Each structure stands twice: as structure tokens, then as C-alpha cells.
Amino acid sequence: MIADIDTLHPLETEGARLGIKNPAQRYDRQGERNDQDRMEAAMRAFAHDFGATTAVYLESCIHCGMCAEACQYYVQTDDPRYTPVRKLEPFKQAYKREAGPFAFFYRLFNLKHRVTVDELQEWQELIYDSCTMCGRCSLICPMGIDIARLVGQARHGMFQAGLVPHELWAVAERAEREGSPLGATPKVFKERIDWLSDEYDVQIQVDLDSADILVSMSSIEIMKYPQAIVATAKVLNALGEKWTIRLDGYEATNFGMLSGNAQWQKDLSMKIINAAVKCGAKMLILPECGHAYGAMRWDGANIYGKPLPFEVLHVSEFLARNLRNGRLKVKQVPKSVTFHDPCQIARRGGATQAPREVLAKLGVDLHEMSPGGDLNWCCGGGGGVVTIHRADELRYKVFQIKMKQVDESGAEMLLMSCSNCRQTFDDGQAHFKWDKTAHSLLELVADNLAR
């Protein structure tokens, strides 16, 4: 039996560091290339993303400013730099000059100058430190421009230019090299599973050759919230499912996507896809992790190159389905709760009602945040922002929106279905000495299974 989880793999107790230390010296430029090479690499990556949909988006902006009021960074600072569409300026500038319908005239009369490395470096803080790609601006835009998607594309160019924030690059590179951004290697994960299985007397299926359900986990859960592993096992065992965790494909967090490296994103996703295919899984359950949901639910088939041969469900969707059909039974929970909707699962993912079905079956008194659901404010830590130390001051400023929402709900209990959001809430709680603690929807269900 392993002694204490946090002594085995120490995590910093203050701040949302997750083992990522504040660098004594920042290296926000990767590699030794000159500025010309960096700029050309960025332009090649930008050009790769200048397809028809992107072109329509970039040509459609009417500069109405509505996206500004939808962005927590602008709302909390009144700084026009944080207007979402402005964060795209170098990307849009490159498009207008190099690929747009009037590109010849832009170049001939120098109406749009060539993007410089200095501009890209200044831009780094705008598209990494002050954008979680939460999509609230996309939902509000009257022209239907998916600004969050464009920011994700812009990050491709930044990565190719070697202009990614120090910590975000480090965890993305570690994920590619070791299979996990936070050191949750197969060996570490297996040790945790063995410890949890013994400590909580729960059977956790590992590396079955054949299974109906493949379970993936996020490194944050493995390293910081291991009760999520126990809760998942309890639910699946109660249902009598034939399920497994595969050590050759379990890490659902995709820092390749967050950092802007499309190849690393593909590598991480294919590990899970290949593991599911190998064991013949009919369903992949994604953990309480927002960006993991987007990376696999909506990008997985594109990465695979054809329809996925299995169904993809976020764990809250899986719970809702089995509570709805009566296969899963739960006890009533006589508490008032409020629910934080993770942006990538609800607004970007479409799974907004699933957790509410679960909460209804638990019999709680739901106090909705205002605004909630698809319009819910982001926690401020997604998109890799929580890893970047220099972004802390700004992140804490925007987190105050969430504190106000939760306090105004008057609920006894705060629930969510994203471990990254939960970590951001825990960090905000510690920073502000706030009296609210974030809890897991999955764990609440597992703790109240009807026998």
C-alpha cells in the first residue's frame, strides 16, 4: 500500500501549479532561430489554416464590439486590448495581406504590413494568457464568427514560431515525451490504481484485452483528485459493465491542442483511439475534463480520418443516460447546490442538460447561477491559462466573477464536472481565502449510489 498520494508525487500547495514551478528565468521563446525564420514558420502555419470557413469568419467581422462584453478579461479590466476579436489582429493581418481576395492590393500599397516577430511576441500574452477559448464571444457574435476556434488556429502559428509561454510549452512537451503533462506516466498511474483499489476496496479493471467500455482519465484527476478514479469504478461496477482502463491510452488531457501543436494533439488523441480499437470498445467515457471533451468528441474523428468506431461520451452524459433508463439508482441528497458549467462541455460541447438530469435524479435543490448554462462565465483557468504564472494576477481578477456568481446563488454546495475548473476554483479559494469549496458531480453520484 502506498502511503500518501501527495507525498508520493508532491504538488505545490499554493496556486494552481500542479507541479509546474514558477521558472526562475522565463523562456517564452523556444529554440535558437532568428526572427526571420520564426516569422516565416508562423506565416506557413497561418496559411495552412486559411481555409474557406476561416476566410468567411475573418471577412465577416463588423467591429460591433459585442464580443468585448462577453469576455471576462475585458469586463473585469475595461482594457480594449482584451477585446476578443482584437486578439486575432496579427492572424487577420496575415490573412488580409497573404490570402484574402484583395491580398494583391494590400501588398502593393502596403495597406497591411508584414507581421513581425515583435508583434507576435506581444500577441503571445493576448492569445495565451488572456484567452481560455471558452467560446462565450463566439456565442454572442451576431455574425456567427467562432472567435475561439480562430484563436486555436492562431496558436498553431505561434507554436511553429517557437513563441509559446514557458510553462505551457513545458507541459505540452512532457505530454508528448512521457504521455502525460503532469508526470502521470503508466507506471505512476498503475501504482495509484493499485493503491486506490486496496484502500477503497474497489475493483478497477486494467488492460483487459476485450471490453465494452474504455475509460480515460485526466492527469489532474490522477495526480490531484484520485477519488475520481474510485468514483468511476464504483459507477461502472454497479452497472455490471465490462470496462477497462488501458495503460497504452488513458491520458485524456490534450496539451498539444492547448499549446497549438497539431501533431502533438494528434499523437495524444491517437493513443486513446488505438487503445479503444485494440480492446474492441463500443464506448469511450471521457473524464471530468473540459478540453478533453472537445479534443476527442469533436476533433477525434477528424484526427482518425474517418468516423470513430465507438461512441464518445462525457462522464456526465453517461451518468444521465443510465439514470434516465433506470439502470443506475441513487439516493436523494437533501441539499441546495449550484452548478458551474464547464465551457468546453456545455457551451462548446453541447452537453449542458446532462448534469441537470443527474442533479434532478439526486433530488437536490438546484440554484442556477446567473447567467448559467451555455452563457455561464468561464472559471478563467482553461485553455492552458492556469499553467502560466505570469497570468496569475489577471486570472485572479476574472475569477472574482465566479465568486460573485456562486455567492449570489446562496447554495450550500458548489458542483462541477471538470477537474481543470475544480483546480482553478481550489486555487481561487486559497488565494482569496474564500469559504466555498468545489466538488465533483461524478463523486457525488458515486457516494450516493443506491444499494
Give per-residue pLDDT as tens, 369-426. 999 999 999 999 999 999 999 999 999 999 999 999 999 999 999 999 999 999 999 9
Instruction: Give a yes or no: residue 92 inside a domain.
Output: yes
Res. 9: pLDDT tops 50: no
Q: What is the pLDDT of residue 14?
A: 38
pLDDT (mean) for 124-148: 97
Last residue of some domain: 321, 336, 354? 321
Q: Same structural domain for residues 159 and 176?
A: no
Q: Which residue has the higher pLDDT, 451 or 142?
A: 142
Asked whether residue 237 falls in the same domain as residue 192, the answer is yes
Average pLDDT of the residues in 92-97: 92
CB-based contact 214:310 (threshold 8 Å): yes
pLDDT in tens, 104-119: 998 988 888 899 999 9
Average pLDDT over residues 54-62: 95
Are residues 362 and 448 in contact, defined by beta-carbon separation less than 8 angstroms? yes
Plot region of 373 (φ>0 → left; ψ -120 to 50 → alpha; else → beta): left
Q: Take residue 134 and report the three cell numbers written for it.
A: 471558452
Q: Return the C-alpha cell found at 364.
A: 437536490
**284 and 202 part of one domain:** yes
Among candidate residues 121, 140, 163, the one where a domain is terminated: 163
Query: Mean pLDDT for the chain?
Result: 94
The CATH number of the domain holding residue 393 is 3.40.50
CATH number at residue 113: 1.10.1060
Q: At residue 374, what are phi and psi to the nearest 5 degrees? A: -65, -25
Q: Is the same domain home to 331 and 393?
A: yes
For 73, residues 6+ apart whose C-beta sits below 8 A from its C-beta are: 79, 82, 130, 131, 394, 398
Please, what sign has the CA dihedral across residues 417, 172, 84, 151?
A: negative
Helix (H, G, I), strand (E, B) or coil at 358: helix
Question: Both 220 and 238 in a single domain?
Answer: yes
Do the domain assignments include residue 362?
Answer: yes
In a domain, 24, yes or no: no
Q: Work out the number of other CB atoms within 10 angstroms of the CB of residue 436.
A: 19
- Can you give 372-383 as a three-state secondary structure string? CHHHCCCCCCCC
Q: Is 26 inside any structural domain?
A: no
Predicted pLDDT at 110: 87
pLDDT for position 16: 43
Q: What is the pLDDT of residues 321-361, one digit of tens each?
A: 999 999 999 999 999 999 999 999 999 999 999 999 999 99
> For residue 424, is it within any domain?
yes
Distance CA 19, CA 171 (A): 10
Tell me the mean pLDDT in the region 435-441.
98
- Verify that 261 and 346 share a domain, yes or no: no
Average pLDDT over residues 161-190: 96
Q: Residue 4 pLDDT > 70, yes or no? A: no
pLDDT confidence of residue 3: 33
**C-alpha to C-alpha distances, 261 to 258, 265, 364, 412, nearest whole angstrom:** 8, 6, 42, 41
Q: Which of 305, 321, 337 is the last residue of a domain?
A: 321
Nearest to 374 by CA among 408, 348, 355: 348
Residue 376: closest CA among 340, 411, 429: 340
The answer to whether residue 202 sits within a structural domain is yes
Q: Which of 336, 412, 424, 419 is nearest to 377 (CA)?
A: 424
Tally of domains in the chain? 3
Query: What gap in Å lies between CA 269 and CA 113, rounded to an integer?
Result: 38
Is 90 exceeded by the pLDDT of residue 129? yes
Q: Tell me the C-alpha distance between 164 and 157, whole Å.
A: 10
233-250 pLDDT, tens digit each: 999 999 999 999 999 999
131 and 173 belong to one structural domain:
no
Are residues 92 and 208 both part of a single domain?
A: no
Confidence tier at 7 by pLDDT (50, 70, 90): very low
pLDDT in tens, 41-51: 999 999 999 99
**Do residues 440 and 225 lie in contact, with contact meaning Cβ atoms separated by under 8 Å?**
yes
- Residue 289 shares a structural domain with residue 245: yes
Per-residue confidence (pLDDT) for residue 112, from 0 to 100: 86
Range of the domain at 303: 5-13+169-321
Looking at the structure, tell me whether residues 125 and 214 fall in a common domain.
no
